[in-house]
Amino acid sequence: MRKKIEKLLIEAHYFPSVQYCSKWLMADEIVIEANENYQKGSYRNRFRIMNSYGEYELSIPLKKGKNERQSIRDVLISYGENWELQQWRAIKTAYGRSPFFEHYEHLIEPLFCKNHRYLFDLNLEILNALKTILDIDVTFSLSSDYLPKGLSRTGFESENETHDIRDMIHPKPHRAKEDDIFDPRRYEQVFASKHGFLENMSILDLLFCCGPETRRVLNDSVYWNEAD
């Protein structure tokens, strides 16, 4: 098992993917990008679950405006429609019969009732809650300023630097960056008999399906933790 690297720099996602959460096992500290501009079409305000129809995306509606030019910390959530209740109902419909839904329902449902004004604040609370639920020993911190991409180190070659993996994980494959140390391990999904295994869903999919085995699946999905 290789030694953990010191820091990983990554943007804040909304109910992040299995791939995203696997990074928490690799570093002593996760630095959340707090000074970027919002980017449309990313996981910053959306996540994917698996239901009876297959892959299904849920997203937070944002107040209209030039979000692409806004600081991520200024992006406002729209509450014009009751999206929180709709999303929780979609999750409950998808996973209500999963092995561990009842074990975690009381921890996840309140995260849909926060009424945060800003997207970044909601995402940060969700990330902290998930870290606690998964019992992963990693420190979260916020970036102090914005470092343009390409000026910070990328990759995982050494242990004592801040590794920039911002926008490595993206809904659109052509915009995602290569991640050659992530190899998603299969686990039993609720609708696998109908759709086969769908990899890299939201961490909620793995949590509701595997419960206390979630960390093992995460660990097994990271080459970083494999013996040379």
Kindly report, residue by residue over 1-22, the tens digit of the pLDDT. Answer: 567 889 999 999 999 999 999 9
Given a cut of 70, is residue 187 above it in pLDDT?
yes
Given a cut of 90, is residue 64 above it in pLDDT?
no
Q: In this structure, what DSSP letter does residue 3 have?
A: P
Q: Residue 228: which pLDDT band, with cuts at 50, 70 and 90? A: very low
Alpha helices per DSSP H over the chain: 18-22, 83-95, 101-108, 119-134, 192-195, 203-210, 214-220
Given a cut of 70, is residue 214 above it in pLDDT?
yes
Q: Answer for the pair 225, 2: CB distance below 8 angstroms, yes or no.
A: yes
Tokens of 108: 């996840």
Given a cut of 50, is residue 40 above it in pLDDT?
yes
83-95 vs 203-210: helix crossing angle, rounded to 10: 40
- Report d(CA 29, CA 47) in Å as an integer: 23
Residue 79: per-residue pLDDT: 94
Q: Answer for the pair 197, 205: CB distance below 8 angstroms, yes or no.
A: no
Q: Answer for the pair 168, 176: CB distance below 8 angstroms, yes or no.
A: yes
Q: Answer for the pair 22, 10: CB distance below 8 angstroms, yes or no.
A: no
**Cβ contacts of residue 90 below 8 Å, gap of 6+?**
49, 51, 56, 58
Residue 158: per-residue pLDDT: 53
- Is residue 196 exposed (0-12), middle (13-18) or buried (19+ Cβ within 10 Å)? exposed
Helix (H, G, I), strand (E, B) or coil at 69: helix
Residue 2: per-residue pLDDT: 64
Q: Answer for the pair 211, 99: CB distance below 8 angstroms, yes or no.
A: yes
Amino acid found at 187? Y
What is this structure's pTM? 0.92
Given a cut of 80, is residue 97 above it in pLDDT?
yes
